[in-house]
Amino acid sequence: MTPQDRATRSAEAMWENDKASQWLGLRIAEVGAGTATLTLTVEPHHCNGHAICHGGFIFTLADSAFAFACNSRNAVTVAQHNTISFIAPGKLGDTLTATAREVSLRGRSGLYDVTVTNQTGATIAEFRGASRAIQGQLFPEED
């Protein structure tokens, strides 16, 4: 199985059970070994009292991209910790794109950067996540 095939099958297995991301309206645009890109179109129910996209939804978009990137090798992997810096607001009607990339993977620990941009390419947020692989696989795979 190629790394791309493994990443695609891992994403499909995760997405099937990821009711939170589905409910929020996230969409998987692309996955690869150690990478993932997810999108969200900002709708009225994503906006806060300032009429901009709630930071929690931006964080969730980035966190979900991080999750699909760090699980792309078919090893069940969870977050250890993460941080986000909000750079600019997401606005009603914007299409936000979270692009995750692996910075480091050593043993069971990984480090990932996620950039969230809008449809014009403006940076909305920068996220860094640390991951830890635990027992299990997302789908059965022959050795």
Residue pair 42/93 in contact by the 8 Å Cβ criterion: yes
Domain holding 42: CATH number?
3.10.129.10
Mean pLDDT of 90-113: 97
Domain count, the chain: 1
**Summary mean pLDDT of the chain:** 97
Q: Assess if residue 97 is contained within a domain.
A: yes
Token pair of 32 as six digits? 């690869």
Q: Assess if residue 117 is contained within a domain.
A: yes
Q: Assess if residue 114 is contained within a domain.
A: yes
In this prediction, residue 143 carries a pLDDT of 59
Q: State pLDDT tens for residues 41-61.
A: 999 999 999 999 999 999 999
Q: Assess if residue 139 is contained within a domain.
A: no
Q: Assess if residue 138 is contained within a domain.
A: no
User: Cα separation of 88 and 34, whole Å?
Assistant: 26
pTM for the model: 0.95
Residue pair 33/6 in contact by the 8 Å Cβ criterion: yes
Domain containing residue 118: 3-133
Mean pLDDT of 53-81: 97
In this prediction, residue 142 carries a pLDDT of 75
Q: Assess if residue 143 is contained within a domain.
A: no
Q: Assess if residue 23 is contained within a domain.
A: yes
